[in-house]
Amino acid sequence: MAPSRQRSRIHDFPDYEVVLEANPEFARASLDDEVIAASAQSVIVRETRHAPVIYFPREDVRWERLEATDHTSFCPFKGDASYWTVRGAERVEENAVWGYADPFPEVAELANYVAFYGDRIRVESAASPPAEPGSSPKT
């Protein structure tokens, strides 16, 4: 029998926070030199005892490069996560993307976002979108 998953209500843990904030910068996720997601509407999730994570709006992800997997995980503060594998031109990163399709009400906004493991997918944030290769800056 599988262990039961118990939800932890954030307000029951005053020393634990999950905070979503708008990212004021343009964010991009790439596998090698291939952009997998790019957005001016990403959010930063700051969670106690975790590094900040950039979450990308689902509509700003190149879904043709992702493949859903059977892998799942559970966070007592956010809910059940689903995973995707990224298939780049030169390599594949298994279960490198996750998202919460039906997160707990306290973080309901996460339903519209996914995140990338930064140790396998390059995730960058900058004040403005990078120039397209071969373009010159406007003067």
Q: What is the pLDDT of residue 108?
A: 95
* pLDDT tens sequence across 76-95: 999 999 999 999 999 999 99
Would the pLDDT of 65 be above 80? yes
In this prediction, residue 24 has a pLDDT band, given cuts at 50, 70 and 90, of very high
In this predicted model, which residue has the larger pLDDT, 4 or 60?
60
Q: Give residues with Cβ within 8 angstroms of 41, minimum separation 6.
A: 22, 23, 57, 60
Q: What is the pLDDT of residue 61?
A: 99
Q: What is the pLDDT of residue 118?
A: 96
In this predicted model, which residue has the larger pLDDT, 107 or 128?
107
Listed as own residue / partner, the contacts of 62-65 with beta carbons closer than 8 Å and 24 or more positions apart are 62/35, 62/36, 62/37, 65/31, 65/34, 65/36
Three-state SS for 118? coil
Q: How many CB atoms lie within 10 A of CB 82?
A: 18
Q: What is the mean pLDDT of residues 44-62?
A: 97
Q: What is the mean pLDDT of residues 16-42?
A: 96
Would the pLDDT of 17 be above 70? yes
Q: What structural domains and CATH numbers belong to the chain?
A: 14-126 (2.170.150.40)
In this prediction, residue 132 has a pLDDT band, given cuts at 50, 70 and 90, of low
Q: Is the pTM of this model over 0.75?
A: yes
Question: How confident is the prediction for the chain on average, in pLDDT?
Answer: 88
